[in-house]
Structure 1
């Protein structure tokens, strides 16, 4: 068992205890971050004269070699080491001898792991943001192409009023846009460097924490060393944001599943994003949407787990905090995979526009507009509501849409109706006369689409990180 802290101990750790304590099986995931942090630390030690320039350069050169060899497969991260920090440092010492032993000067594993986790999480925040941007671009394309594609809008899963597919997609655009904004907020709060906090009380070495922070792209150092080593609320925030993203994806997936059913047939999912049945040859299952919906609980679990872990931990570092990694790594990978696959599914999905339009017509989604017609002709709203209710009952009995009723049939229920009722309750009129910003009318939607394009142009890639 390779340990770097054995001087205090006269007896080897029991193997079961060692295995229980070790984190190498999962924290090896951030070997890059560990080496990046070590290079920044050693660069600063050299600048401050704590190490000679030659010592600093030898360590940096060897650390880069270790990273390169891990990446090309010539150096394997061994489970004989307790954690990734021990592996990197022991490998360095094996190659440089006493010079390698100076790597850890002025540093604790507590601030080292705090840095690694923060660097890794920061990278994941940006990667998730990039995937959400791709999803938003797909949504915007669908919106632009479907400002006149009429479909039913729902409340309580009941057909309510006619909208457009552009309007429906626009609702999800807003959700995922807010998700990106949450990621930006998290980045702004978390982008401070804990390295130099030591075990909990800093160090007597003359470290330049501002310089180290600058080398790694942080805004500056954390301002309290105890908080620096024990803070994981940025990770809780990120898991919360991922849970919200997954909730939005799950809602969207539920709709895709419903729309894909034989009863709706609003969409056809591309063969690449669906599967068949082992026994029923007619089946085409929306597996990606179902898996996204199912994996949402997995991400929620990581959030609840970390909240529960952190709730009873006194300052500063405690070993419980090692539990911040496994489920968090899984949640990050799960969320990214779900966003990417959902984006591909949505991008290749076909929308059955005529089916959507007919569904609006046959679902009495223009009933509210028929009532508005009566109100505009002097009928009190409550009376108009009752009259249209009678019309709906009549249509259900006759298995027809309101649009299909003759003027005589309409007048038999209310003499107020005239020929212009048909224009007033046409699907196009019902949608396009709703012109307030945020409504489904084509003119209103085109204004919103222009605003969304402007938003994407201003928030492209990681450009926002430089603002």
Structure 2
């Protein structure tokens, strides 16, 4: 049997060793140790501020906790499974350092509000780090876009050639996705940054605590108004996991495109050696491991979101041990998102090159200018639906003849409809097709240049 725990005087014997291991969370919640210490220091200050303990005791607790922090940073304090969780581990070591006064730290506090506080302190820190990574990612997208305003790339719908677009316009679509991610995390942060400290186990406390005092010390915006809700709420975790999942969706979508672009079928990009690997048996291959891993890792973040929803769906108020399962999913999602953002930023910044000649050729070898022929007729008074049907027949006959629209003679155009004139050839060049789409938010070069100015302005917002 294991050593009896702090709470175990209620029990006749200690936990079975296997159950102690099963019950323990120290193997993963050690991630929260510095946040636990910070929250405990604020709690100690509040206990002294309200007269629940003396100022000397409060100072001893604060300094003792700081010593625990330094010991952990220096590798001198490494609690094992016998500590059960990070909270007991810190309190036990604190008591060894400062003596019996260490046992006063937990006055007017439960592990339920303590762990809720720690998790929020951790998550709000991680949210800010991820938001900065999103800014770094956006900056790289804009940097590349600015160099490729007039580089054309085939645009697709249904993975079929649709219309040519500016490469910058294509990259700025991902900039806008990342901007929503950045803003979404700011919104999530507002609900993470609410303090449950002082809610106790579920019903508050009989001690004259000052919850707003600790909230201010810890830079929380507010406190939970209901103690039951404060210790059992994990909406903030679900929202974060949802936001993290959407970030991964965006990274995975670009990953899929990069994988396609690097293939021999597309040949739109060349992967540099610094961000690709080879085959163990086929010496000619260069594999897009980074985007493939990002695409694969997306599923694990989705899984953590689903797991968190399932954990919460049947929990009665207030705290339940099931909530111990929230941390590993949050930690892993944070680490996965941060790693994927870093890898994709490096990949785009220095791990690939666009093959400009191949792209220039690609936008001339299809019927992606067919809509522009219909627009040409519509601009000359032909009802668009009629023009659409005319061009559809032209495409059909051209495919049968092995021709592209640019290969048709002027006489052939005029046989199709008398409205066609010699300027049809300029109208259907890829560059003109792109330049002409000058509606707000479109791929026209003027619009793209303005979008880049707007993007730089957005990046200046911290």
Q: So what's the TM-score if we normalise by structure 1? A: 0.95
Per mean C-alpha deviation after superposition, the further-off stretch among 105-114 and 141-150 is 141-150
Task: Report the Cα distance in structure 2 between the residues aligned to 1:347 and 1:212, rounded to whole angstroms.
Answer: 43
Matches within 5 A, 1:60-459: 60-348=62-350, 349-458=352-461
- Alignment correspondent of 2:33: 31
Deviations 1:148-203 (A, max 9, x none): 11111110001111111111111111111111111011111221111111111111
Task: Report the Cα distance in structure 1 between the residues aligned to 2:361 and 2:20, rounded to whole angstroms.
Answer: 66
SS in structure 2 at match of 1:417:
coil
Aligned-residue offset at 1:388: 2.2
Aligned-residue offset at 1:433: 1.5
Per mean C-alpha deviation after superposition, the further-off stretch among 322-331 and 385-394 is 385-394
Contact 1:132 1:176 in 2 (8 A): yes
2:58 to 43, 47, 56: 56
**Structure 1 residue ranges (4+ consecutive) displaced by more than 6 angstroms after TM superposition:** none
Task: Report the Cα distance in structure 2 between the residues aligned to 1:275 and 1:408, rounded to whole angstroms.
Answer: 53
Contact 1:48 1:208 in 2 (8 A): yes
SS in structure 2 at match of 1:316:
coil
Contact 1:111 1:197 in 2 (8 A): yes
SS in structure 1 at match of 2:154:
strand
Task: Report the Cα distance in structure 1 between the residues aligned to 2:263 and 2:345, rounded to whole angstroms.
Answer: 20
Deviations 1:183-239 (A, max 9, x none): 011111221111111111111111111110011110122111111111111000000
Corresponding residue pairs, total: 459
Q: What is the Cα-based RMSD across aligned positions, in Å?
A: 1.4
SS in structure 2 at match of 1:372:
helix
Aligned-residue offset at 1:51: 1.7
Contact 1:362 1:400 in 2 (8 A): no
Q: Is 1:47 matched up with 2:12?
A: no
- Stretches of structure 1 that go unaligned for 5 or more consecutive residues are 461-467
Q: So what's the TM-score if we normalise by structure 2? A: 0.96
Contact 2:111 2:201 in 1 (8 A): yes
Aligned-residue offset at 1:415: 4.1
Aligned-residue offset at 1:394: 4.1
Contact 1:194 1:222 in 2 (8 A): yes
Aligned-residue offset at 1:31: 0.3
Contact 2:46 2:213 in 1 (8 A): yes
- Stretches of structure 2 that go unaligned for 5 or more consecutive residues are none
Aligned-residue offset at 1:329: 1.1
Aligned-residue offset at 1:412: 4.3
Task: Report the Cα distance in structure 2 between the residues aligned to 1:394 and 1:377, rounded to whole angstroms.
Answer: 23
Per mean C-alpha deviation after superposition, the further-off stretch among 395-404 and 150-159 is 395-404
SS in structure 2 at match of 1:202:
coil
Task: Report the Cα distance in structure 2 between the residues aligned to 1:176 and 1:162, rounded to whole angstroms.
Answer: 23
Task: Report the Cα distance in structure 1 between the residues aligned to 2:293 and 2:285, rounded to whole angstroms.
Answer: 17
Per mean C-alpha deviation after superposition, the further-off stretch among 112-121 and 447-456 is 447-456
